[in-house]
Amino acid sequence: MTRASCTTPASTQDLLAYWLHELDGSQESRLDEHLFACAACSERLRTIVSVGAAIRNELLSGDFGFVLPAAFISRLKDSGLHVREYHLEPGGSVNCTVTPEDELVVAHMRAPLRDVRRLDLLVEDSAAGSMRVNDVAFDPAAGGVTMVPSVAFLRTLRNERQRVRLVAVDGVEERVIADYTFNHYPS
């Protein structure tokens, strides 16, 4: 194929769907053909794949915090990752730490989320100050959310207290659903 004949470059959505096995057999075969004939689209897919690998590495680096489903954390553990877990009920508090062998530290915070449409996290930290995480991804049926703080940040802490509040947002109205207290101590 010459450059001139590549008049229909694959869309990013199609490339991603191809990579994630979301296409049916005939769609996948067509894209296989196109990618073998078109260096430009093949290069774009390679870029998407390398960005995906970098995102995976960012999670494992522990440099950033995330809010992720509990089922995902289970898969991480099943894959051999060393995960320190804390479970909290609404209003609960926990003494917590991070040890050298911990690759991730997670907090499973139970909360009634059935009628919640948008959920924000308010974090007040005696070391880092306050921050708000808007519109976290959550399953209302899951009965809670799982916070994955930055392990790199946790390792810098000594004795600190962090308060986390889950806030349901509906238009301009907000209500606190539950709050949790983390008393961090160095390992």
Partner 1 sequence: MFSLERAISYAPPMGFEALDANDDAAVARRIIGCAPARDTAAEAEICRRLGPRIRLYGLKHLRSEAAAADLMQDVLVMVLQKLRDGAVRDPEQIASFVLGTARQMVIDGRRSGRRRVRILEAFPVDLTPADEEAPEPLDTKRLGRCLSALPERERAVLVLTFYDDRSADAVAAELGLSAGNVRVIRHRGLERLRGCMETAGGDA
Cβ–Cβ under 8 Å, residues 151 and 104: yes
Residue 114 as a binder of partner 1 (CB under 8 A): the answer is no
User: How far is residue 143's CA from residue 114's CA, in Å, rounded to a whole number?
Assistant: 8
Among 10, 35, 104, 123, binds partner 1 (CB under 8 A): 35
Among residues 7, 13, 26, 130, the one that binds partner 1 under rule CB under 8 A: 13
Per CB under 8 A, the list member of 96, 98, 105, 138 interacting with partner 1 is 138
Amino acid at 35: L
SS (H, E, C) 71-137: HHHHHHHHCCCCEEEEEECCCCEEEECCCCCCCEEEEEEECCCCCCCEEEEEEEECCCEEEEECCCC
Q: Which stretch binds partner 1 (CB under 8 A): 88-96, 99-107, 132-140, 173-181?
A: 132-140
51 binds partner 1 (CB under 8 A): yes
Judged by CB under 8 A, the number of residues near partner 1 is 59
Q: How far apart, in whole angstroms, are the C-alpha atoms of residue 4 and residue 121?
A: 51
Tell me whether residue 135 or residue 185 sits nearer to partner 1 (CB atom). Answer: 135
The residue among 64 and 185 lying less far from partner 1, judged by its C-beta, is 64
Of 1-9, 84-92, 94-102, 154-162, which part binds partner 1 (CB under 8 A)? 1-9
What backbone torsions phi and psi does residue 69 show, to the nearest 5 degrees?
Answer: -70, 150
